[in-house]
C-alpha cells in the first residue's frame, strides 16, 4: 500500500503546503465556516447520540474501523466518541448515525481492487465526485480509499465501485487536474493491471517480459473496444479493425472489465 500519497487538505495548507489543491481546501473550508456562522450553525455538536449508536452497532458485531468506513469518518474519531468525547464535528456525528443499526456487519474484503479502480478512473480524468455519484458514496470517501487510507471495505462498497468503474472506464473524464494528480502520485490506468484485484499483481509497466504487448494495449482505446463489443463484433473482427493482435483485445477487455454478451 502506498502510504506516501499526498491528499489535499486544509491541515496540509496550514502546515505550509503551497499546492493549489490544498489552498483550495482551505478556501472552501473558510467560506463554509463563514456561512455557518452567518446562519447560526455550530461546527461542534453533542456526541451523545453518536456514542449510543456506536454501542448499538457494536452489539451487531461492528468494529470501530467498520463504523468509520460505513460513515466516511476516521476510526480514531469513532473511538474517541465511544470513549466519552462529549462533542464532535457535525459531519462526524451524521456519518456515524448513517450506519444502519438494524443490520449485522457484513463481510469485508481487501481494499486493493477498490482502490485501484478509483485510482484508474482518476488517471483517465474522472473526479472523486463523479466516481462517488456513480457509486452512491461521497467524493471524500472515494478519495480516502484512493489515497490508501482504507485497508478493507465492505462488500457493498466494493460492488458499488466495480459498478461505477464499468460505467465510466470506457470514456475519459473531463478533469485535467485529476489526471495530473493521479500521474503525480504514480497511480495507474485501467490497462496497467492483468488482475486489478490481486494485491500481488504488479502494474504492466514493471513487467519487461510483457512490455511489447503492453505497449500495444496502451495504444488501444478501451472505449472503442467497448463500443465494438457492444455492437456484437468478435475478438478477431475488433483486432482487425484496430490493427492489433486478438490477445491485445482480450487483455483490454479483461483489464477494463468490458463484458462480452452471451
Cα–Cα distance for residue pair 65/77, rounded to 1 Å: 10
Contacts with 230 (C-beta within 8 Å, 6 or more apart), sequence order: 261
Q: Determine what percent of the chain is predicted with pLDDT higher than 70.
A: 84
DSSP string, 42-74: -SEEE-HHHHHHHHHHHHTT--HHHHHHHHT--
Q: What is the pLDDT of residues 62-96, one digit of tens each?
A: 878 778 877 778 888 898 999 888 888 887 888 88
Q: What is the pLDDT of residues 227-244, one digit of tens each?
A: 778 777 888 877 766 667
The pLDDT tens digits of the residues spanning 28-50 come to 877 877 777 677 666 678 899 99
- What is the distance between the alpha carbons of residues 187 and 181, in angstroms, rounded to a whole number? 9
Give the pLDDT mean for 151-178.
Answer: 87
Q: Is 87 helix (H, G, I), strand (E, B) or coil?
A: strand
pTM: 0.48
CA distance 132 to 140: 8
Q: Is 15 exposed, middle or buried (0-12, 13-18, 19+ CB in 10 A)?
A: exposed
152 has which bridge partners? 110
CA distance 47 to 217: 52
The residue ranges of every structural domain in the chain are 1-41, 44-97, 108-192, 207-255
Of residues 221 and 116, more confidently modeled: 116
Q: How far apart are CA 222 and CA 214, in angstroms?
A: 13
Amino acid at each position: 500500500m502506498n502510504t506516501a500519497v499526498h491528499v489535499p487538505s486544509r491541515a496540509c495548507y496550514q502546515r505550509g503546503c503551497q499546492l493549489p489543491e490544498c489552498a483550495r481546501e482551505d478556501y472552501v473550508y473558510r467560506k463554509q465556516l463563514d456561512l455557518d456562522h452567518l446562519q447560526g450553525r455550530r461546527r461542534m455538536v453533542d456526541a451523545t447520540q453518536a456514542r449510543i449508536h456506536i454501542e448499538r452497532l457494536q452489539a451487531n458485531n461492528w468494529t470501530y474501523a467498520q463504523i468509520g468506513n460505513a460513515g466516511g469518518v476516521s476510526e480514531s474519531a469513532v473511538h474517541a466518541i465511544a470513549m466519552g468525547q462529549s462533542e464532535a464535528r457535525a459531519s462526524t456525528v451524521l456519518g456515524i448515525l448513517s450506519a444502519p443499526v438494524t443490520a449485522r456487519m457484513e463481510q469485508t474484503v481487501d481494499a486493493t481492487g477498490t482502490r485501484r479502480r478509483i485510482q484508474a478512473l482518476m488517471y483517465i480524468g474522472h473526479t472523486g465526485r463523479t466516481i462517488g455519484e456513480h457509486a452512491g458514496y461521497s467524493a471524500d470517501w472515494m478519495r480516502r480509499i484512493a489515497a490508501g487510507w482504507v485497508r478493507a471495505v465492505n462488500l457493498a462498497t466494493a460492488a458499488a465501485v466495480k459498478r461505477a468503474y464499468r460505467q465510466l472506464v470506457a470514456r475519459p473524464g473531463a478533469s485535467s487536474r485529476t489526471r495530473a494528480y493521479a500521474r503525480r502520485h504514480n497511480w495507474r490506468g485501467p490497462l496497467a493491471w492483468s488482475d486489478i484485484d490481486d494485491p500481488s499483481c504488479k502494474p504492466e509497466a514493471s513487467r519487461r517480459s510483457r512490455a511489447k504487448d503492453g505497449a500495444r494495449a496502451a495504444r488501444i482505446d478501451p472505449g472503442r473496444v467497448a463500443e465494438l463489443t457492444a455492437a456484437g463484433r468478435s475478438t478477431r473482427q475488433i483486432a482487425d479493425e484496430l490493427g492489433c493482435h486478438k490477445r491485445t483485445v482480450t487483455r483490454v477487455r479483461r483489464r477494463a472489465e468490458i463484458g462480452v454478451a452471451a
